[in-house]
Structure formats: C-alpha cells, structure tokens
Chains A and B, each alone.
Chain A
Amino acid sequence: MALPKYTEPHYRIWHYVYLFICACVFFFLIAPLFVIFPLSFNAEEFLVFSDGMKRLDPDAFSLRWYHDMVYGTKNPWGLAAKNSIIIAIFATIGSVILGTLAALGLSSRYMPFKGLVMAALISPMIVPLIISGVAIFFFMAKVGLAATHLGIILAHIILGTPFVVITVTATLSGFDHSVTRAAASLGSNPINTFMKITLPLILPGVISGALFAFVTSFDEVVVVLFLAGLDNTTIPIQMWTGLREQLSPTILAVATCLILLSTLILLTAELLRRRSERIRGISR
C-alpha cells in the first residue's frame, strides 16, 4: 500500500498510525500462541522463561515434557487421545451425512419454511454451550447413554451439524441445478446423479464442513464435562483438569501438538476454499 507522492503530510502520518494499529492488533491475535512453543521446551518445571532460555543456552531447553506426554507414568494423554480421535471421527461422519442431506434439502427452492428450519438447524451453534450441555446431559442420562462413547458422539453430532449445513449450503448457493436435470434427462437415477454429479462438485464444501465438525468435536469440553465418565476422558477434558489444578509444562507440550494440528487443518481448509471458489467460478 504505497502512498502516492502527492499525499499531504497529515494523511501520511495518519496512514502510518493506521498501519501501526493494524500491526498491534495482528500481534495481539497471534502472539499469545507463540508463547507456548518455547516454554514447552523448557528444561525446568516453571512456566516462565528461565535465565538460561533468555541466554539461549542449549541446556535450558529439553524435550522432557514431550517425553512425559508420551511415556509419563501417570499421564492419561494416550487414552485421552485415543478417545478424542474415535469420538471426533464418528461425530464427523454423522455430522457430514446428516448435515449434507439437510443442506441439499435446504438449498432446494421448493423447501417449505426455509428460514425457520434453517434457524432451527443452526441453533446448536448459537445456544450457549452450557445450556446445550445441561439439556443434552438430561437427555443422555434418561436414555442411559451418559458416560458412554455413543452418548458423546451423538452430542458432538448435534454440535457439529450446523457447521456442515452452513458450509454445504454456501457451496450449493453457486450450484447450477441444470446439470442434475441434464443427468436425469440422460436417464440417471437420483442416487447415481448425486454420487456422480452433485457430490464431486460440492465436495470442497463438504470437506471443509467435515473439518469444522472434526475440530468442534476434538476441541469440545463443556458438553463432555457433563457427559464423560472416567473411561471417556478426552484431550480437552485432560487439559481442562490440568489447567484448573496445576499448569504443568506437559500441557504446553500437548498444546504445541494441538497448534500444529490446527495449522495443518487451517491450511487444508484454505486450499479447499480456494479450490471451491475456482470450481464455482468465483475466482478473485
């Protein structure tokens, strides 16, 4: 954003002030995440930068907390990771199937009560999690699914579907329905048309919805706090307990892994978004 030569001085100053403000806000957004990295390699048990770290002394850094995360005797991270992954995968599959079907119906121009139904389907994203947690807990306790994997998976499907509905309807908004009619007129049945024509076209939206659903489930703690028993502990639950009781550097090691995971997911989501925009011809 180079300024033209004829810019008056006070606008020039204002422009630099504006850029400075933006830089500060970006710093505020991103910097907190980077505190975690160096501290997770701390050789000591304290969550502050030791003098050795400030001098960049190699002895002040170590991988002991990562070692502790994987091999630590009392550490339940292994079980938690396993549970988290199982729950997130099944919750994602459920959310994607239900959410995509609903989005297909919602984006049809014949759909009755479209606004109302859409508002209802999005509501789990809007209703405060604590209320969702209480309500889902009452339900799961009544049908005997509290403290089971299935109960948590169902709960996460509830919380994940709004994201799938939103991303898939967004993809479908640029969808040319004449291609499905063309397929039908060539003798394809609806299921075949969906698998061969519609799905490949909306796939980027479906996958980015799936990523959202996965992250929602993988990161969800409020509802699980109500539902989980000792066998269903997940990574967020372990982090929550750790943060409440004692902030140990092992948590920072886990957090670093989670940041790397979210970076990976972010990059995938961004690539998909661009691909989807290219397919739909909204290239920018």
Chain B
Amino acid sequence: MSKETKQILSTDGIPLEESLKKAEKKNKIKAFLLVCPLLLFLIITYVFPIGEMLFRSVDDKMVTNMLPKTYKAMENWDGKDLPEEDVFKAFYLDYKILVEAKRHGRLATQLNYEKNGFKSILKKLARKQKNFEEGNYKEQIMKVHKRWGQVDYWRAIKRRAPAYTYAKYLKGVDMYENEDGKIVQVPENRRIHKLLWMRTLNIALGVTILCFFMAYPIAHLLATLPMKYSNLLMICVLLPFWTSLLVRTASWMILLQQQGIVNDFIVWIGLVSDDNRPEMMYNKTGTFVAMTQILLPFMVLPLYSVMKTISPSLMRAGKSLGATPAIAFFKVYFPLTIPGIGAGCLLVFILAIGYYITPALVGGASGTLISNQIAYHMKETLDWSFASAMGLMLLAGVLAIYWLYNKLVGVDNIKLG
C-alpha cells in the first residue's frame, strides 16, 4: 500500500496533512501575536536598557573626548621618556578649551582616579595657563609644577586613551591595571568591594538557610492541619506578604532600636543590664533579622504548595512497615519535599542577593549590601559606568541562579499565594 493511494484529502481537495500543518502554523502565529505586545514593550523599555548598561560599563570616551588633540599627538609616543613638545602643545590647547568651557574639573576627577596627585597640578595649570606665551609649551608646563616633568603622569593620561575599558569590572573586584599593564589587587586596606560581595553572599546564604529552617515546620503544619485552621494560619503568612516592605522595615526599626521592645525584653529577663543594651540596628544583625522575616513567606509558599500534594497515607505506610516516625519522615516525606525546598531556597536567595531597601534602612555601615553600593554610585558619586558594571556583575550571578531555577522548577511553576 503506497502512501499516495491512501492520502486523505480535506473537503477543498488539499491533502489533510498539509492543511493541518497550515492550521498549526496559523495557530502558532496567533499565539505569538498575543504575546507580542508585552514582549516588544519589555524588549524596548527593559531588555535594551539593560544592554545599554553593558555599553555604559565599558564606555570610557569621557577623557578621550576631552583630550582629542593630545591623544592624536600621543600616537607616536612610545611612553618611555617624556613626550615631545607636540604632545605638550596639544595638551595645552585641549586643556585651554576645557578651562574656558569650565569642564576641566571633570577631567581632574577622572585623571585623579588614574593617578593620585593630578587634581592639584591640573588646578595649578588652569590658573597659570592664562599667562602662557606662544611656543615652547613643554618648558612652560613643566615650570607650573615639577610633577608635569614626571613621565608617570603622562603615561597615566595615555592609559585613558582607549574609548573602551574593562577597568570598571576590575575595580568591582578590587583589582586594577598597574602602570606596567599588569592586573593586580589593590592594597589590602582598600579592598572594600570584595568585602561587600562576600557580605552579600554571606547574608543571602544565611537568610536562605534561616528561612528554610523556620519555614519547613510551619509549611508542614499548614499542609497537615484541617482546612478551617490552616486557612486562618495562612493569613499570618500572607498578611506580611501583602504588606508594604517599608511598613515591615519600619516595624523592625521600632523593635530593634536601643530603647525598643526587643531590648526591653532582654533587659527584663536579665540577659543584659539596662545600661549595656546591645546595638541591634544599623549593623549586620538588623539586616539579618529583618530580611529573614520579610523573605520568609517566599519560602513558606512553595514548600506549602508541594507538601499539600503529599498524601498522608505515605507516612502511614512507612510506619506500618516498621519505620519509626523519624525514619519515615527522612526516608519518605523529606525526599518528596525536595522540589519545594529547591524552589523556595532559590527564590529567597535570588531576592536576598539583590536586596536594597531593608539593608539601606537598618543596615548602617556594616550591614549594607552590593545593591546599596550600586545606588551610592548612581546617586552620590555619579560614576554611572561603575554602577553599571557592578549591576551587571550582580545580574550575571542572579541570571545564573535563575537559569538553574528554571531548569529545576520551571518558571511556570512559580506560585503566588
């Protein structure tokens, strides 16, 4: 029986297989068109801007654009000895324009990042250059300050020539490219970012573990209690979940303050004396406690939704076969809850690692996380490219965990309430 003879035709004479394929294609397009508006909206307003952060983080055109003539002249300079007159002249001309446009302060800030001591000699040059005479700029500039005669400073200027740099990423892990072009760590006492990364990881991990140990028993209780009790208790989990983050943080600020209720309580039970109240806020403890309470519902809900599906008869079967309750729990019940544990832990960890508001309010100096550093550079130092670089490093970590989450749990299995 050959295929042709058995081919089924639809009413309009087209082979059925073909018309089914056509219909499927049409359905595919229909489904995709429904998703399109949101997908396009997100791509334009969200995905592209995140991509733009990537450009911003490696962008180093600021200095390049401020000193165009200098860099043109420097192309022929080998960087060994002091540059020739043409470089000095080009630098003088560039700098003159910047001073007239009152933009020389930014150059000073940027070059000072590269080498300490630039700020003062650039300021001095800004004052003195008005009286410069035509010709022999090398001598005139070197007369302004003796550091202008040191080749290190000129090398530092040359290092900022490329329009793109990965220096911000190095800075994010406390490394830098030294004058010989080698990548080295910054001095021990200035390694602040490594400390922040470690602290962020520490707190995120600690909060996740703490949340797990607190959430497991109550999720179990909620899943095994009769409906009318568990619904009532569920409100205890869902009310904090729905309440404003700032309200919950505010309540922790009241509880943990030095004259607060927690402190009153430990004084009252005699753990510490009244004039020796411990500082519980504006440090790591505050961040830890508040974040645990705030993120706890995110652990309870996935655990609960998994435990709800486990039939109680499994535990009974285990026990009837001779297992003690403890063995039945660890051999039967616990393995069945692992999907929920994975979902809850990954979710809490992802949320904790990028936390901003709570650490900023109750963290003080020793309890702030990497997010706070990003905000600091966005708002205070205005070093947006560094903020972008740090943000993307954090994002890479989060996306890796998200990928894992997607693999293990599947995003379509996220449960909300």
Contact = CB atoms under 8 A, between A and B. Distances in A.
Interface of A: 1, 11, 18-19, 21-22, 25-26, 28-30, 32-33, 35-36, 39, 47-49, 98-99, 101-102, 104-106, 108, 110-112, 115, 117-124, 126-132, 134-139, 154-155, 157-158, 161, 163, 165-167, 169-170, 208, 212, 215, 218-219, 221-222, 225-226, 236, 239-240, 243-244, 247, 251-252, 255, 258-259, 262-263, 265-266, 269-270, 273, 284
Contacts of A219: 244-246
Interface string B398-417: 11001000100011101111
A251 B217 CA distance: 34
B248 interface: yes
B293 A131 contact: no
Interface centre among A105, A124, A126, A170 (most CB of B within 10 A): A126
Given A32-B248, A243-B361, A124 B42 contact: yes
Interface centre among A105, A108, A166 (most CB of B within 10 A): A105
Contacts of A99: 38
A258 B391 contact: no
Interface of B is mostly: helix
Contact of B233 (A26, A39, A137): A26
Interface in B231-261: 231, 233, 235-255, 257, 259-261
Interface string B336-374: 000000000000001001111100110000000001001
A11 B417 CA distance: 32
A104 B35 CA distance: 8
A101 B33 CA distance: 9
A134 B390 CA distance: 11
B239 A266 contact: yes
Interface string B376-405: 001000000001100110110011001000
A211 to B, nearest CB: 9
B45 A259 contact: no
A258 B46 contact: no
A225 B380 CA distance: 13
Given A29-B296, A110-B28, A130 B242 contact: no
Given A122-B411, A218-B244, 12 more contacts: A19-B221, A35-B251, A36-B250, A115-B410, A118-B412, A121-B39, A121-B42, A123-B42, A126-B402, A138-B52, A240-B361, A284-B227
Nearest to B214: A25
The 4 closest A-B pairs by CB, nearest first: A128-B354, A105-B34, A105-B35, A108-B31
B226 to A, nearest CB: 8
B305 to A, nearest CB: 11
B202 interface: no
A117 B36 CA distance: 10
Contacts of B375: 130, 225
Contacts of B52: 135, 138-139
Contacts of A252: 250, 254
B246 A48 contact: no
A102 B31 CA distance: 8
Contact of A101 (B28, B34, B356, B378): B34
A127 B28 contact: no
Interface centre among B221, B224, B244 (most CB of A within 10 A): B244
A4 to B, nearest CB: 12
A236 B249 CA distance: 12
Interface centre among B45, B253, B361, B406 (most CB of A within 10 A): B45
Contacts of A284: 227
B293 A32 contact: yes
Nearest to A252: B250
Contacts of A18: 217, 221
Nearest to B353: A128
A62 B32 CA distance: 58
B371 A266 contact: no
B22 interface: no
A11 to B, nearest CB: 6
Contacts of B236: 26, 29-30
A49 B391 CA distance: 42
A32 B252 contact: yes
B239 A30 contact: yes
A111 B32 contact: yes
